[in-house]
Each structure stands twice: as structure tokens, then as C-alpha cells.
């Protein structure tokens, strides 16, 4: 999977965990998804500049 696919996967995991009441897992999954999106955007910018 690519970075954006993993970010979407962790976002879905966070939503499901939040609905089921596991707020700690939901928060951690959102943090991982956020960082994956940030890394994806940085790599995309670097790729377009090169």
C-alpha cells in the first residue's frame, strides 16, 4: 500500500474505534493518519520540485 492508502486505513480504524468507545485507540490512529498525510504531502512536493 502507498502512504495515502495507509492514511485512509488508519482514518477508518479511528472512526470505527471512536464509535465502539475505544477513544485511546481512536486518538492514536488519528495521529498516525495525520503524520502519514503530512509525510505524503512533503514527498509529493519534493517529487514535483525535482
For 35, the domain range is 3-49
Read out DSSP for 29-48? Answer: HHHHHHHHHHHHHHHHHHHH
What's the predicted TM-score (pTM) here? 0.75
**In the numeric block, which cell numbers belong to residue 47?**
517529487
Structure confidence by residue, pLDDT tens digits, 8-48: 888 898 889 889 988 888 888 889 989 988 999 999 999 99
The pLDDT confidence band at residue 1, using thresholds 50, 70 and 90, is low
State how many domains the chain has. 1
Amino acid at each position: 500500500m502507498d502512504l495515502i492508502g495507509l492514511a485512509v486505513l488508519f482514518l477508518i480504524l479511528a472512526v470505527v474505534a471512536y464509535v465502539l468507545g475505544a477513544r485511546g485507540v481512536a486518538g492514536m490512529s488519528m495521529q498516525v493518519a495525520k503524520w502519514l498525510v503530512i509525510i505524503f504531502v512533503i514527498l509529493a512536493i519534493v517529487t514535483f520540485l525535482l
